[in-house]
Amino acid sequence: PPERPVRLFRSPEPIEVPATEIPEGPPMNFRWRRALYRVARAEGPERIAAEWWRQLPREEEAPTRDYYRIEDSEGRRYWLYRQGLYSSAPQAAPPRWYMHGVFA
This prediction's pTM = 0.83
- Taking each continuous run of H as one helix and of E as one strand, the counts in the chain are 0, 6
The 3 state secondary structure assigned to 38-76 is: EEEEEEEEEEECCCHHHCCCCCCCCCCEEEEEEEECCCC
Looking at residues 62-83, what average pLDDT do you find? 93
- What confidence tens digit (pLDDT) does each residue in 7-54 have? 999 999 999 998 777 777 899 999 999 999 999 999 999 988 777 666
